[in-house]
Amino acid sequence: MNMHPLFPELPARLGRLGELAMDLWWSWNHQARAVFRTLDYTLWRATAHNPVLMLHQIDRTRLDRAAADPAFLAVYDQALAQLDRARSAESTWWTERCGHVPHRPVAYFSAEFAIHQSLPIYAGGLGVLAGDHCKEAGDLGLPFVGIGFMYPQGYFRQRVTADRQEEDYVSLSWENAPVEPASTPDGRDCVIAVPLGNRTVLVQVWRVRLGRTKLYLLDTNLEENAPWDRELSARLYGGDRETRVQQEIILGIGGVRALRALGTDPAVWHLNEGHAAFVVLQRIREHLDQGWQFSDALAEVRRTTVFTTHTPVPAGHDAFPFHMVETHLAGCWGSLGEFREDFLALGRHDNGSGTLFNMTALAIRSTGSTNAVSAVHRDVTERMWKPLWEETPGVLKPVTSVTNGIHLPTWVGAELARLLDHHAPEWRDRHDEPGLWDAILAVPDAEIWEMRQALRTALFSFIRERMRLRWTEGVSAPRVVSGGTLLDPHALTLGFARRFTGYKRPELIFHDPERLAAILNATRTPVQIVFAGKAHPADESGKHALQGVIRRASDPLFGGRIAFVDDYDLHVAHYFVQGCDVWLNNPRKPLEASGTSGMKASVNGVLHLSIGDGWWAEGFTGSNGWLVDPGTHTDDHDAQDAADAEALYRLLEEQVVPAFYDRDEHDVPTRWVRMVKEAIRTVSPTFSTRRMVKEYVERMYVPAFEQAAASR
Ligand SMILES: *Cc1c(COP(=O)(O)O)cnc(C)c1O
């Protein structure tokens, strides 16, 4: 019996393999990963861990052999039993904690979701957070649906020629991606209509399976739509302001309509960043259609909507001229038309250079709780939006914060997971309990060091294979060098991988090139730095910084000890945050709202070397990494850069390098290993999405659920 129409050729004994490949839950379950890894390891690597593509390419003989191999079948059967358990709604944390609230879902809206590299609908940290939130919500048993965009061309793929980033948009190969058409309760493909200006755009809804969580993705590329409308959802963060406002109307208004068409009745609505704030327009309108007053409808929407803001950078908040918003919303008003001015006033905001319709202002004014993503960011957000809190005291609650986290099963490296299975076997189920992690202190130093070496080795073989591939694809010889072929697998390795943009200061470490060269080229204590990251196509300064780093990577001054790895994505991120020794993070304070890559690094024992911004202001204990503290704060950027760079060099010279190269008689760096243990022990429980999602449940979702129940 074969259960999946996409994979008709599977042997009967492996009939559910297609179902497993189409549920991205496999990506964070170690048994399910083992199924695909052992099925055909070469193909697993060649497809960048894409089981759907694997099943389309695999040899029949391999499948037959697996179907007759008892060891393989044992893992396969266990994985499927776990999949069935992961899909059932019984006996979860949620049913125990929240049995009293109605079993209606939380609807989580986000412009991007980073679940797995085979679904390229994310650009960076915001998407990773959204993806990790969905995974954790499922693990905890929350009734939860995510809503976002399909983006058939995704975010761009980065290619590096001699010294520059080039952007490719690659159309998704649908048959090789884990998406399927979503269907309505009566079994038809879900297609909805969204009024846009004076026309109607049709939107197809796709479904991604994530265990018990559903993720729905909106796509305007339908034949019935005009060519320009078909392009609306083609690319993430592509196009101009007009495109952006139309995308946001589709996400907010279309997203609510899609949920209705799918028969989903959310009790709580979570807006991840302001992009989705038009959700409130559609929901107010729904209440007006049922005969409510505007003020009551707004109050009800506030009671049941939660907003998370993510950036202290003013340009990161979408704002549009009023005429632009009015043009594109023209067909959306319906019964809300009479209250159009009241609604538009909810988004009014003067950013200092004029009054615009601001999506963050709309979200703050029309939701019941606004939260920032770290304690430092909370203070910055409150200052930024002070006029809003002051205008209507009482109605608007001040901003709170829920510090971000990462989904541990996604980010912990395989070698570390094996070690934890041995020394703290309950870690998979109870990893937000701080006490459980004390077990790491008793692990022999040599074992920890071996784990770190194994993860580092995996990074270097990944980098070398990538450059080998690029070489066969025709990149130049200098680019083979700058791509990392000269790196030393035993040298202290710093990693810097994130979006290339001004405030993250990717070039800070080059502030004094001679001093850096001396650190890198020290004969007995060599140091190397691996970089990766994309610059947004419209971010000229980000692109310039990227070019600067690539040039330095091929500058003989630095001895081949700097590398730039192209096309940063989830796949590259996994190798980096697990395989480096030190994770470098030097944003211009206080512009990093939280940051999450340092959490991913720390839980793998990659020591964080960071400015005290975002989560590190809470996470640094004194013994689990290093704090780059210049002791001064000034608005003069040049002076701040100089002071921060000086503090960074001093830490490297006086602490980081000596600790790494100070070895015992078995060549184990015991001081270093002690810090590795502290990083794993202190960061894993607290900066996990398990802690984070539980906090959202207790502080935001449960009160909203109770309100929703009370007002029914
Ligand atoms: C975690 C992650 C980010 C976020 O990195 P920050 O340094 O926290 O900004 C961005 N991109 C990818 C692919 C990631 O995995």
Residue 672, in any domain of the structure = yes
Give the residue, 655 or 97, on which the prediction is more confident.
655
- What is the pLDDT of the chain when averaged over all its residues? 95
Average pLDDT over residues 590-618: 97
Collapsing DSSP to helix, strand or coil, 608 comes out as strand
**Are residues 628 and 681 both part of a single domain?**
yes
Q: What is the pTM of this model?
A: 0.97
User: Which residue's CA is the closest to the ligand 1 atom numbered 2?
Assistant: 125
CA of 600 to the centre of ligand 1 (A): 9
User: Which residue's CA is the closest to the ligand 1 atom numbered 5?
Assistant: 597
**Are residues 364 and 510 both part of a single domain?**
no
For residue 654, pLDDT beyond 80: yes
The rounded Cα 202 to chain-centroid distance in angstroms is 28
CA of 568 to the centre of ligand 1 (A): 9
Percent of the chain with pLDDT over 70: 99
Instruction: From the CA of 406, give the closest atom in ligand 1.
Output: 1
User: Which residue's CA is the closest to the ligand 1 atom numbered 11?
Assistant: 124
CA of 489 to the centre of ligand 1 (A): 24
Residue 175, in any domain of the structure = no
**Are residues 114 and 78 both part of a single domain?**
no
pLDDT digits (tens, 9 = 90+) for 514-541: 999 999 999 999 999 999 999 999 999 9
Last residue of a domain, one of 29, 58, 87: 87
For residue 301, pLDDT beyond 50: yes
For residue 60, pLDDT beyond 50: yes
Instruction: From the CA of 614, give the closest atom in ligand 1.
Output: 8
CA of 126 to the centre of ligand 1 (A): 8
User: Which residue's CA is the closest to the ligand 1 atom numbered 9?
Assistant: 595
Instruction: From the CA of 533, give the closest atom in ligand 1.
Output: 11
Instruction: From the CA of 592, give the closest atom in ligand 1.
Output: 9
Binding-site residues, ligand 1, Cβ < 6 A:
124-125, 128, 498, 568-570, 573, 595-597, 600
Collapsing DSSP to helix, strand or coil, 186 comes out as coil
User: Which residue's CA is the closest to the ligand 1 atom numbered 12?
Assistant: 124
- Judge whether 221 and 201 are in contact, CB under 8 Å: no
Under DSSP, the state recorded for 502 is G
Q: What is the DSSP string of 309-349?
A: ----SGGGS-EE-HHHHHHHHTTT-GGGGGGHHHHHHTTEE
Q: What is the pLDDT of residue 9?
A: 85
Q: What is the pLDDT of residue 679?
A: 98
For residue 394, pLDDT beyond 80: no
Average pLDDT over residues 196-208: 97
CA of 546 to the centre of ligand 1 (A): 16
CA of 310 to the centre of ligand 1 (A): 13
Q: What is the pLDDT of residue 315?
A: 82
CA of 707 to the centre of ligand 1 (A): 35
pLDDT digits (tens, 9 = 90+) for 446-465: 999 999 999 999 999 999 99
CA of 115 to the centre of ligand 1 (A): 13
pLDDT digits (tens, 9 = 90+) for 114-137: 999 999 999 999 999 999 999 999
The packing angle between helices 294-303 and 359-366, to 10°, is 90
Matching residue, tokens 């050729």? 9
Instruction: From the CA of 570, give the closest atom in ligand 1.
Output: 13
Integer distance in angstroms from the first to the last C-alpha of the chain?
Answer: 45
Domain hosting residue 586, numbered range = 408-685
Q: What is the pLDDT of residue 540?
A: 93
- Judge whether 149 and 219 are in contact, CB under 8 Å: yes
**Are residues 631 and 575 both part of a single domain?**
yes
Last residue of a domain, one of 54, 87, 120: 87
**Are residues 146 and 213 both part of a single domain?**
yes
205 forms beta bridges with: 218
Residue 149, in any domain of the structure = yes
Q: What is the pLDDT of residue 89?
A: 80
CA distance 415 to 41: 17
Q: For residue 408, give Cα distances in angstroms to 161, 284, 445, 549, 604.
A: 35, 38, 23, 31, 10
pLDDT digits (tens, 9 = 90+) for 320-376: 999 999 999 999 999 999 999 999 999 999 988 799 999 999 999 999 999 999 999
Which of the four pLDDT bands, split at 50, 70 and 90, describes residue 406?
very high
Instruction: From the CA of 595, give the closest atom in ligand 1.
Output: 8
**Are residues 41 and 188 both part of a single domain?**
no
β pairing state of 348-350 and 355-358: antiparallel
Instruction: From the CA of 497, give the closest atom in ligand 1.
Output: 7
User: Which residue's CA is the closest to the ligand 1 atom numbered 3?
Assistant: 125
CA of 505 to the centre of ligand 1 (A): 15
Last residue of a domain, one of 87, 113, 135: 87
pLDDT digits (tens, 9 = 90+) for 697-708: 999 999 998 887
Matching residue, tokens 């919500």? 137
For residue 201, pLDDT beyond 80: yes
Residue 445, in any domain of the structure = yes
pLDDT digits (tens, 9 = 90+) for 479-525: 999 999 999 999 999 999 999 999 999 999 999 999 999 999 999 99
**To test the ligand 1 pocket, which listed residue (596, 604, 683) has its Cβ within 8 A of the most ligand atoms?**
596
Choose among 559, 620, 558, 623: nearest CA to 585: 620
Please count the structural domains in the chain: 3
CA of 599 to the centre of ligand 1 (A): 10
Residue 1, in any domain of the structure = no
CA of 99 to the centre of ligand 1 (A): 35
- Judge whether 102 and 121 are in contact, CB under 8 Å: no
Could you tell me which residues come within 8 angstroms of residue 114 by beta carbon, excluding any fewer than 6 positions away? 121, 122, 124, 127, 128, 130, 131, 132, 570
Q: What is the pLDDT of residue 1?
A: 45
Q: What is the pLDDT of residue 319?
A: 95
CA of 498 to the centre of ligand 1 (A): 5
Q: What is the pLDDT of residue 316?
A: 85
**Are residues 333 and 264 both part of a single domain?**
yes
Q: For residue 239, give Cα distances in angstroms to 56, 231, 233, 234, 243.
A: 34, 9, 10, 10, 6
Q: What is the pLDDT of residue 370?
A: 96
Residue 496, in any domain of the structure = yes
CA of 595 to the centre of ligand 1 (A): 7
Q: What is the pLDDT of residue 711?
A: 67
Could you tell me which residues come within 8 angstroms of residue 536 by beta carbon, excluding any fewer than 6 positions away? 123, 237, 499, 501, 542
Residue 161, in any domain of the structure = no
Helices (H) and strands (E) in the chain, counts: 33, 21
Q: Which of 82-96, 107-121, 569-583 has the lowest mean pLDDT?
A: 82-96
Q: What is the pLDDT of residue 3?
A: 59
Instruction: From the CA of 568, give the closest atom in ligand 1.
Output: 13
Q: What is the pLDDT of residue 213?
A: 96
**To test the ligand 1 pocket, which listed residue (411, 499, 582, 588) has its Cβ within 8 A of the most ligand atoms?**
499
**Are residues 369 and 480 both part of a single domain?**
no
CA of 598 to the centre of ligand 1 (A): 9
Q: For residue 166, give Cα distances in angstroms to 169, 424, 426, 497.
A: 10, 45, 46, 18
User: Which residue's CA is the closest to the ligand 1 atom numbered 1?
Assistant: 597
**Are residues 386 and 432 both part of a single domain?**
no
Q: What is the DSSP string of 557-580?
A: GGTT-EEEESS--HHHHHHHHHH-
Which of the four pLDDT bands, split at 50, 70 and 90, describes residue 576?
very high
**Are residues 83 and 110 both part of a single domain?**
no
CA distance 683 to 700: 24
pLDDT digits (tens, 9 = 90+) for 305-318: 999 999 998 888 99
CATH number of residue 307's parent domain = 3.40.50.2000
**Are residues 436 and 338 both part of a single domain?**
no
Q: Which helix or strand (DSSP H or E) is residue 529 part of? A: strand 527-532
Q: Which of 68-77, 535-544, 592-601 has the lowest mean pLDDT?
A: 535-544
pLDDT digits (tens, 9 = 90+) for 237-290: 888 999 999 999 999 999 999 999 999 999 999 999 999 999 999 999 999 999
Residue 212, in any domain of the structure = yes
Instruction: From the CA of 594, give the closest atom in ligand 1.
Output: 8
pLDDT digits (tens, 9 = 90+) for 11-23: 999 999 999 999 9
**Are residues 42 and 135 both part of a single domain?**
no
Average pLDDT over residues 568-581: 98
Q: Which amino acid is at 397?
A: K
CA of 597 to the centre of ligand 1 (A): 5
**Residue 195 structure tokens:** 């009024």
Could you tell me which residues come within 8 angstroms of residue 450 by beta carbon, excluding any fewer than 6 positions away? none
Instruction: From the CA of 574, give the closest atom in ligand 1.
Output: 15
CA of 573 to the centre of ligand 1 (A): 7
For residue 2, pLDDT beyond 60: no
Instruction: From the CA of 573, give the closest atom in ligand 1.
Output: 15
Q: Which amino acid is at 125?
A: G
Q: What is the pLDDT of residue 712?
A: 59
Average pLDDT over residues 393-415: 92
Quick one: CA torsion of 655, 658, 664, 669, rounded to 10 degrees?
60
